[in-house]
Amino acid sequence: MKVIMKNLGEKYEGRENFTLRNINLEIDDQDFCVILGPSGCGKTTLLRMIAGLNSITEGDLYFDERRVNTIPPKDRDIAMVFQSYALYPHMTVYDNMAFSLVMRKERKKLIDERVKEAAKLLQIEEYLYAKPADISGGQRQRVALGRAIVRNPSVFLMDEPLSNLDAKLREHMRVELVRLHKSLGTTSIYVTHDQTEAMTMATKIILLDDGKIQQVGKPEEFYNKPENIFVARFIGSPTINIIKGKYKGGKFVSETDTIALTPSKEDAEYLKDFEGKEISIGIRPERFESGGEFGDTFEATIDVIEMLGKEKTLFATLKDGSDLVISTPGHYDYKEGETHTFGFDIKAIHYFDSETGERINR
């Protein structure tokens, strides 16, 4: 099922301003759409509007061609999974999963089939007769998913469902959720503040900040073509380096002249109108070149090295005292305290208008 939002807005009672405004979006059938953004940006508000748990102040919400603004949650054909799992503690796993179907007065045989099928899919058959308190956090999360799956909804809505799990389990459940989505094909909308979850799971990411959409697209578009500095900083770990400067005589020159960079031919076309203006460059930590034998180079002193195994993160300082983060393969032999020459992969430079923060080389 498609979920379409036209000029959606939410203004909570007693609040002076709109929490969300001008939300125009189309989530396609079978999409795994991740709503991403920092705390307080309005992610949960948007999800609750789609679920029917929040009233819609302005705009229209459609499920395919059907306008659902005033349709109550139980008639929207959705299933929601919360961060807190919200399982009934006195019921077995089986009864928790069966609950919504029992309430719908489905036949016992059908309920039994659905619960067992979901349990098999989620590999929780062994625990069907345990109580929530007797199983682990990861297993409880699966039960919460199972409870949503048995309803066979047209849309799954998930609000930070993995945030109570430890890092290893979260990584595992990410893959499980993607597998599950591939096998069920149900349109899913998933809220998180974790860019890794968005990058690894989404077919479509919606990045919100301050109640506004910053960018909509595929994960690789966010990484390779962030539309503004906020997006560039939000996606990618370690965080992208943003260096302020000017565009002078066909070159980018940093504020203190420590870095000078000649753009690629393609980028120079976009930069034509920016001669003499303040611009910023963004360069991801892994797009520096060690040694920098060709093109523009600069020197940086390595203060701290974080060894992550397959890669090393170098926290370095430029001559003017500003910070720079550089990622290198783990086997490269850098030491703290050393000064080295680095270059740029000039095809990987993001140029931004310093005034608006908007991307220049589209």
Residues 228-287 that bind ligand ATP (CB under 6 A): none
Asked whether position 161 contacts ligand ATP by CB under 6 A, the answer is no
In the complex with ligand ATP, the residue whose CB is nearer, 39 or 70, is: 39
Task: Specify the stretch interacting with ligand ATP by CB under 6 A; choose among 43-51, 84-92, 241-249, 290-298.
Answer: 43-51
Asked whether position 39 contacts ligand ATP by CB under 6 A, the answer is yes
- Could you please report the per-residue DSSP string of 281-316? EEE-GGGEEES--SS-EEEEEEEEEEE-SSEEEEEE
Task: Specify the stretch interacting with ligand ATP by CB under 6 A; choose among 36-44, 62-70, 174-182, 343-351.
Answer: 36-44
CB of 71 to ligand ATP, least distance (A): 20
State how far the Cα of 162 lies from the Cα of 181, in Å rounded to an integer.
15
Could you tell me which of 213, 215, 212 has the C-alpha nearest to residue 231? 215
Running DSSP on this structure, what letter comes out for residue 104? T
Exposed/middle/buried for residue 5 (C-beta within 10 Å: 0-12, 13-18, 19+): buried
The CA-atom distances, in angstroms, between 248 and each of 73, 126, 276 are: 57, 68, 5
One of 5, 8, 21, 45 touching ligand ATP (CB under 6 A): 45
Could you tell me which of 290, 285, 300, 302 has the C-alpha nearest to residue 336? 302
Asked whether position 43 contacts ligand ATP by CB under 6 A, the answer is yes
Q: Judging by DSSP bridges, how do beta strands 260-261 and 251-254 pair with one another? A: antiparallel
State how far the Cα of 42 lies from the Cα of 37, in Å rounded to an integer.
8
In the complex with ligand ATP, the residue whose CB is nearer, 41 or 128, is: 41
In the complex with ligand ATP, the residue whose CB is nearer, 193 or 244, is: 193
In the complex with ligand ATP, the residue whose CB is nearer, 98 or 158, is: 158
Number of residues that bind ligand ATP (CB under 6 A): 12
Reduced to 3 DSSP states, what percent helix, strand and coil does the chain have, rounded to the nearest 5?
A: 30, 35, 35
Asked whether position 12 contacts ligand ATP by CB under 6 A, the answer is yes
Count CB atoms within 10 A of the CB of residue 20: 27
One of 28, 40, 102, 306 touching ligand ATP (CB under 6 A): 40
In the complex with ligand ATP, the residue whose CB is nearer, 164 or 290, is: 164
CB of 319 to ligand ATP, least distance (A): 40
In the complex with ligand ATP, the residue whose CB is nearer, 45 or 258, is: 45
Question: Which residues form the interface with ligand ATP (CB under 6 A)?
Answer: 12, 15, 19, 37, 39-45, 193
